Amino acid sequence: MEVASIGSAIRTVYLQPAVAPTLETIATIERYQHGQSIYHSADPRQFWYRILTGAARKCAVTSGGTRCVVDFLFPQDLFGIGSEGRHRFAAEVLSNDTAVARYPRRLVERIADSDLLVAREIREAAFQSLRHLEARVTMLRLGRASERVSAFLLELAERRSGEQRDLEIAIPMSRYDIADYLAMTVETVCRVLTQLRLQGIISFSSVRSVRIRDWDRLEGICGAGSIGSTFGHTRIALRPSAGDR
């Protein structure tokens, strides 16, 4: 844990009324190690959060004990946003020395009432969360394991490196996390990754680092179409399931 307490951050706001508070002035920074929880499901929504360094996963556990990863969180992602109530999902850290900024929810809401830039940032964070949800729903509608894994790699590349195609892409999550995210077995995820490597489409410098060697072939596995959810630089066409044909 580091940086000032929430109390001192709030005092700064009111002791300097001539200076408009920003998200930075009210933030406290906390550091987590792999496996630690930022918050649990059903915890009260007292804070909003942003990943500064490292990565985390947003997940839920079903009544039968099955874990479901619903999103991954990377640097600059704002999360935990919502009105009063409790968190529906847990947020768990994926890598050591993950730094997370924490913002008191009520204070952020007051700032957003008068600061258009903060209000816009919160709105964009909400839109981004919806885009990630749309991407995952689209992946789960893809029929073949190779299509899902390829779509995941394209989404990961877009979120981690943007337009820069020649970079090594860090994979902070485990193969088990990827399997939970794609609703597949870990054995299937590993098999598809191995196939993509043997075909020269991707390469690994380590278990946690991948490079996409052939973007066109990877995008082609997913199929080109006009659906509204985008992975990397292609739009994914959903193939009809057997029951739809």
Nearest to 1 by CA among 74, 101, 108: 101
pLDDT at position 162, please? Answer: 64
Give the whole-angstrom CA distance, residue 54 versus residue 49.
13
Give the whole-angstrom CA distance, residue 208 versus residue 132.
22
Give the whole-angstrom CA distance, residue 86 versus residue 75.
24
Nearest to 182 by CA among 146, 208, 206: 146
Least confident among 41-50, 133-142, 149-158, 222-231 = 222-231
**What are the pLDDT digits (tens) for 94-107?**
999 999 999 998 88
Give the percent of the chain with pLDDT over 90. 47
Sign for the pseudo-dihedral over CA of 65, 71, 73, 78:
negative
Task: Give the H/E segment covering residue 208.
Answer: none
Structure tokens at 84: 């009063």
Q: What is the mean pLDDT of residues 204-224?
A: 88
Q: Where are the alpha helices (DSSP H) in 60-115?
A: 105-114
Other CB atoms within a 10 A radius of the CB of residue 36 amount to 14
Q: Is 54 exposed, middle or buried (0-12, 13-18, 19+ CB in 10 A)?
A: buried
| Domains of the chain and any CATH numbers | 6-131 (2.60.120.10), 142-235 (1.10.10.10)
Helix or strand or coil: residue 131?
helix
pTM: 0.77
**What are the pLDDT digits (tens) for 56-87?**
999 988 777 778 899 999 998 989 887 678 99
